[in-house]
Structure 1
Amino acid sequence: MGVSVAYVTFADPDGFDDEKEVVVTAWAEEGIAGEIVRWDDPEVDWAAFDAAVVRTPWDYVERRAEFLAWAHRTESVTRLLNPAAVLERNTDKTYLRELDAPIIPTYWVGAGEAVDFPVLDEYVVKPSISAGARDTIRTRDREEAEAHAARLAAGGRTAMIQPYLDMVESEGETSLLYFGGRFSHAVRRNAMLVESASRPGQGNDHGELRVPEPDQFALAERVLGEFPEVLYARVDLVRLADGSPALIEVELTEPYLFLRYAPGAAANLARALAEAL
């Protein structure tokens, strides 16, 4: 009897997820029978799968509590990759405060806290629970930045205030992809706040292959050392004004993987899954 694995996605009538067929085909070559299923489909018998790989639940942001409840429930009847505890931690960017790694300078404003941060040339203000630049603004107007942070905090959310870094436009963001703890490939991604993000993943699914520098590899692997049990990871980096690399975020829940960009990338993911199983 073969191994059966769920490829976990969301209701996707417009076909935004263009990697699912590539992934399932690569799984088949490793003897893994993949089935594409929605995480919120009440008819799915998750216990019937040997594992469930969370790939593109791109509607979780507005339903995070429901999504995490599903993850823990599913993990009780089958193997979930990445694990529910990882998803719970990773879907709130406050995890960045806990990492032993340089991040973009960030000022945090939680519910009930005063909106207090230094004067910056240009501001990026966003909620700690977000994806695809939802509820994120870029502005030079301090009053606008303060008002947006206050609105987020008043709504019970944690606001993140960061300086806008010109390097995201000149050098770009570098995303390093790891499967089973092994480096697969890297891309230079378009800056999310340069072009409008009108759909999940827009701005993330356009880029070009890049060979990371040694200091970028070192930082990515330092970060991943804190998440040893993950099947897939995308480490997003940018260079600060002094040239040093800093972590934007580590994507462990629903990252676009740029599988079509690098020969063998889908096979790398499939091999890592076969080894994990």
Structure 2
Amino acid sequence: MRIALATAIAAFTLDEDLPPLRAALEARGHHAEPVAWDDPTVSWARFDLVLLRSTWNYTQQPDAFLRWCEAVADRTRLLNPPALVRWNTDKRYLGELAQAGLPVVPSHYLAPGEDPAGFPAFDEFVVKPCIGAGSRDTQRYTAPNRAAAVAHVRRLLEAGRHVLVQPYLEAVDTQGETALLFFNGHYSHAIRKGPLLARDGEATRALFAPEAITPREPSAAEFEVAHRVLAAIPGGLPLYARVDLLPGADGPRLLELELTEPSLFFPFAPGSAERFAAALDTVLATP
């Protein structure tokens, strides 16, 4: 089978998952080729399958990216599928999961035209766009710097972007973030991310913020929350899912459910690329 590993022109040399994934797929008899979604010369119909991998710049042109997903799906198979991608690329999905009873980091949303100061008072909090990735346009603020945060929100709203404001969970500074990786609904591995955002610091201007990654064994409580989150995914279990959890005062809290272009951290978990390839073959064998 000819498989396109969809990346971005700017991410070709940055995605550390691509080499081990390509090797694992080719060991199972597939031809796997990294291809940039934003390369207009690509004929996607020549592939039997397109795997969304490191399309990390989609946040700068989300409408074009979603149109591209639909166009690719009209020509071949896209995983994860367009409907799921459309739902997952806008962090307002977190509000839906919270309404369903899942333990989500408390989230307050602002839409263009709304008061940029219309979010609750927090001692420490994070401002981010609802469509965003890699910590771009994301900043951590303290209460004395609320005016700077309001200005940040105003810039995003005036650019036509929806905004998410969340309290900063202080345990992140000591415990970090846990990301659990699931392939076709089965747990593969997990990693720890160190704290990313400096207090009252500047947002990254790079494609993504540098991350301190180490392997991690999730707690029983983290597994329990992750499985509840997976069960709430619209349309059933996808080929790949990454559940990002933060330590809250009352237990793990969902920060993000990554179903579009998450790093899968193959270099930190021996055998994980092979597990992904096996999961893909299982999906392909299902009518």
- Choose the corresponding residue for 2:280, options 258, 262, 273: 273
Alignment match, 2:217: 211
Matched residues in 2 for 1:13 and 1:39: separation? 11
Offset, 1:103: 1.1
Q: Out of 90-99 and 150-159, give the one that drifted further.
A: 150-159
**SS, match of residue 131 in structure 1:** coil
Q: Tell me the equivalent position of 1:45.
A: 43
Residue pairs, 1:191-270, within 5 angstroms = 191-194=195-198, 197-204=204-211, 206-227=212-233, 228-242=236-250, 244-270=251-277
| Partner AA of 1:68 in structure 2 | L
Give the conservation status (yes or no) of the 8 Å contact 1:191–1:203: no
Counterpart CA distance in 1 for 2:282 and 2:67 is: 27
Q: What aligned pairs does 1:130-141 form with structure 2 within 5 A after superposition?
A: 130-140=132-142, 141=145
Query: SS at 1:44's partner residue?
Result: coil
Which amino acid is the alignment partner of residue 171 of structure 2? M
The secondary structure found in structure 2 opposite 1:260 is helix
Matched, 1:185 2:193: no
Match of 1:116 among 111, 115, 118: 118
SS in 1 for 2:157: helix
Partner Cα distance (1:23, 1:250) in 2: 21
**Bigger share in helix:** 2
Q: Structure 2-normalised TM-score? A: 0.90
Using the TM superposition, give the Cα deviation of residue 79 of structure 1 relative to its aligned residue in structure 2, in angstroms: 0.8
Unaligned runs of 5+ in 1: none
Unaligned runs of 5+ in 2: none
Count of aligned residue pairs for this structure pair = 273
2-structure distance, mates of 1:202, 1:266: 24
* Higher alpha-carbon deviation: 224-233 or 194-203: 194-203
Deviation at 1:203, TM superposition (A): 3.4
Deviates more, 1:43-52 or 1:63-72: 43-52
Alpha-carbon RMSD:
1.7
Amino acid at match of 1:107: H
Q: Deviations over 1:8-59 (max 9, x none)?
A: 0110377111221110100011121111111122222222211100000111
Q: 1:158 aligns with which of 140, 148, 162?
A: 162
- Corresponding residue of 2:8: 10
Per-residue deviation, residues 80-139 of structure 1 (Å, max 9, x unmatched): 000011111111101111112111111111112233222211121111011111111212
Sort the Cα spacing of 1:154 and 1:221 in 2 relative to 1 into closer, same or farther, 3 A.
same
| Alpha-carbon contact 1:108-1:159 (below 8 Å) kept | yes
> CA–CA distance in 2 between the matches of 1:256 and 1:120?
31
Where in structure 2 are the equivalents of 1:26-37 lying within 5 Å?
26-37=24-35
Distance in 1 (alpha carbons) for counterparts of 2:225 and 2:77:
29
Q: Deviations over 1:157-187 (max 9, x none)?
A: 1111111122111110000001111100001
Secondary structure at 2:134 match in 1: coil
CA distance in 1, matches of 2:90, 2:11: 27
State the AA in 2 paired with 1:247.
L
2: distance between equivalents of 1:150 and 1:125? 11
Tell whether the 8 Å contact from 1:201 to 1:256 is kept in structure 2 after alignment: no
Residue number in structure 1 paired with 2:79? 81
Counterpart pick for 2:153 among 142, 149, 153: 149
Counterpart of 1:166 in structure 2: which amino acid? E
State the percentage of identical aligned residues: 42
